[in-house]
Amino acid sequence: MSDYKERFLNYIDLLNTGSTHTKDAYERDIDDFYSFLKEEGIENLQDVDRIVVMNYIANLRMRRTNTGQMKNTSIARRLSSLRSFYRYLNEYIGIQNNPFLYIKSPKISRRIPEFLFYDEMELFLSGFDLSKPVELRNRTMFELMYACGLRVSELVSLKISEIDQSDQVLHITGKGDKQRIVPFYDLANALLTHYFQEVRPLWIGTETHDIAFINQRGKGLTTRGVQYLMQKKADQLQMSVHIHPHMFRHSFATHLLDNGADLRIVQELLGHSSLSTTQIYVHVSQERLKNVYEHAHPRAAYKKSKTS
């Protein structure tokens, strides 16, 4: 069985459809399933049937994690990994059955994305001292993330050649190497000009790469480093929310929709392949409207008991 796992992981590598994190997740999920099969005395993947899979799911539900019972999202991911593994075994190894084929994954409730209200975003972005090179770089990065709805991975990999300042658009390579073009506004463009003229030349040294945002040693930034800088500034400003990079992307989408942008345009700007992925932000906007209404309308404060 170990040989099958290694061949499957090599197959995933050859497909080049996922990140190292995805491959590692596959390996962890398969190893966990193998451990369960060993405890059950099952030594052949051909012998795994629907009953074994149902017992495995029950085993997962009984496990305790640091946050309590294992979440449906974790169980669903494991089942998805094993379903793919068995599809590979069916097609390339000759194993006939796929006991995961008709097993339904647990229902996953869609989380409402966290976002910043516009005044919170304004507070954050206005909190940088642009006379300091590091602060100017950070402000430019975060302004561009909000201006274009960038993922943090897209920010750190952004190249100068992908920034068209004359037309004020970014040429972004997103998930799955999907290309999209996103405009940015005048303020972001002005900050980029200052950063490229005053800061990047000071730090680039002998480096010859095209990465737009660099550290003081001329190297590209990491996603974890950007997250640290973001939270550090939020703490300095004594903001009451925990800020993370994806929150800027969520805010970008929510604010556009709040101000009348067409859903399909926002889908294109975000690089979503499915409109349903973008629609979650409509729910956010509707929730905001409802909250504002309930706080602002003088009759909305009446309790149901008073409607008789």
Q: Does the pLDDT value for residue 14 go beyond 80?
A: no
- Closest listed residue to residue 195, CA positions, set 170, 163, 228: 163
Give the active site residue among 5, 180, 194, 246: 246
Residue 219 falls in the annotated catalytic set: no
Give the active site residue among 175, 283, 290, 297: 175
State the pLDDT at residue 271: 82
Domain locations in the chain as residue ranges: 2-93, 118-295
Residue 246 falls in the annotated catalytic set: yes
Average pLDDT over residues 237-247: 86
Give the active site residue among 78, 151, 250, 255: 151
At a CB cut-off of 8 Å and minimum separation 6, what does 265 contact?
256
pLDDT tens for residues 248-269?
A: 988 898 888 888 888 888 888 8
Residue 11 falls in the annotated catalytic set: no
Strand 68-69 to 163-164 pairing: unpaired
Residue 271: count of CB within 10 angstroms of its CB: 21
Which comes out higher in pLDDT, residue 302 or 220? 220
Residue 84: count of CB within 10 angstroms of its CB: 17
The pLDDT-based confidence of 305 (bands split at 50, 70, 90) is very low
The pLDDT-based confidence of 220 (bands split at 50, 70, 90) is very high
CA distance 119 to 306: 35
Residue 272 falls in the annotated catalytic set: yes
CA distance 287 to 294: 11
Give the active site residue among 233, 250, 255, 272: 272
Average pLDDT over residues 281-287: 64
Residue 242 falls in the annotated catalytic set: no
Residue 47: count of CB within 10 angstroms of its CB: 13
Residue 151 falls in the annotated catalytic set: yes
DSSP 183-229: E--HHHHHHHHHIIIIIHHHHHTT----BSSB-TTSPBPPHHHHHHH
Contact status, residue 220 vs residue 121, Cβ threshold 8 Å: no
Selected from 1.10.150.130, 2.130.10.30, 1.10.1740.10, 3.40.50.300, the CATH number assigned to the domain covering 2-93 reads 1.10.150.130
Give the active site residue among 233, 249, 250, 255: 249
The CATH number that domain 118-295 falls under is 1.10.443.10
